[in-house]
Structures are given as structure tokens and as C-alpha cells.
Amino acid sequence: MDGYSVRASDTYGASDALPAYLELVGEIPMGSEAFLSLSPGETATAYTGGMLANNADAVVMVEHTKITPTGLL
């Protein structure tokens, strides 16, 4: 599914009323090796069938996200 690779611990307890804000640090194109490593509070675009960023252990579907005017997800 298209979405964002995340560290699950960064999104624990997040909801519409209490969102988790993460810094979008890049993307891993389809067919590429995972070259990004996520630090706490970071996310990277993930594509269906593609690799997740290193240190990511979950994906948030794009339908469940919004980009803020400052670029936070």
C-alpha cells in the first residue's frame, strides 16, 4: 500500500484528536534498495511493493495522513 514508513513507537496512541507529527525526510523509489534510515520523529514515503526505510517497522496508509503547511506529516 502507498503510505509512509514509520517507527511504530513514533505513532503509538496517535488519533485524529491527538495526531503524531513526523518530519518527511525522503522516499525510496520502487526498485531501489533501502538507503534511508529513520531516526525518531522521521518518516519516508513508501510505495506498494517497495522497500521500507531502515529502522521502519510499520506503514501508515497515505489516506490516513495530511501534510502540514510546514511540511510535517
CA distance 17 to 57: 24
- For residue 33, being part of any structural domain is answered with yes
- The pLDDT tens digits of the residues spanning 31-67 come to 888 899 999 999 999 998 889 999 999 999 999 998 8
- For residue 70, being part of any structural domain is answered with no
Averaged over 9-25, what is the pLDDT?
A: 93
pLDDT bin (cut points 50, 70, 90) of residue 24 is very high
CA distance 65 to 44: 13
What is the residue range of 60's domain?
3-64
Our count of domains for the chain comes to 1
- For residue 71, being part of any structural domain is answered with no
Which pLDDT score, from 0 to 100, does residue 5 have? Answer: 95
- For residue 22, being part of any structural domain is answered with yes
- For residue 35, being part of any structural domain is answered with yes
- For residue 30, being part of any structural domain is answered with yes
Which pLDDT score, from 0 to 100, does residue 6 have? Answer: 96
